[in-house]
Amino acid sequence: MILWKKAKVVFRRLKTLICQDIAFLAPWPLRTYLHRARGVKVGKNVFIGNLVVLDNGHSEYITIEDNVQISPGAKIVAHDSSFRNVSGGALPTYIGPVTVKRNAYIGTGAIILPGVTIGESAIVGAGAVVVSDVPPKTIVAGVPAKIVGTFEEKAEKFLSKSGLFLWKYYETPRKLEKDEILETKKKLSL
């Protein structure tokens, strides 16, 4: 009986590793499917970039809600075995579920550590290392990640930039007209 339980764990881990390795470079729609097959809870309309790592050992402790975007090279880790290793096995492996709430954005190369919740409509900057919960509608950046502003503050600043914008994916980048900026601010209640 114990041998059967160990075999089930080995097969689950093997399936997880194979799906993770394929998802690492697979085309976008396939990546989402492969991560679901590994046990990651993935909502609707989720984009997972290439080179993304979702915990190899404990992917079932990761929840990604609807409309989330995870940029290329990001990592989400749901376990920490450092103390177990350093203590020679005297301490257990820590497993902390990770949740990425609706409409959140995780930048390129960001690392989310165990036990963290990324709040609804929050933004994690590129390369940030997130060690604690991110409140809804806030923007975090840095190592360790710290709050650098709110969505509303940064959206106002973003809309005032003088560069080009890609308003709809099928349009050529252009400057936004004043009425488009006002309409967008109204939609966002800025």
Q: Which two tokens stand for residue 68?
A: 């989330």
Helix/strand/coil percentages in the chain, nearest 5 = 35, 20, 45
Catalytic residue status for 79? yes
126/138 Cα distance (integer angstroms):
14
Instruction: Give the number of other CB atoms < 10 A from CB of residue 52.
Output: 22
- Which residue has tokens 């923007």? 139
**107 CB burial (10 A radius; 0-12, 13-18, 19+):** buried
Q: Rounded to 5 degrees, what angle do the CA atoms 81, 120, 126 make?
A: 60
The catalytic residue among 31, 35, 38, 79 is 79
Which residues belong to the active site? 79
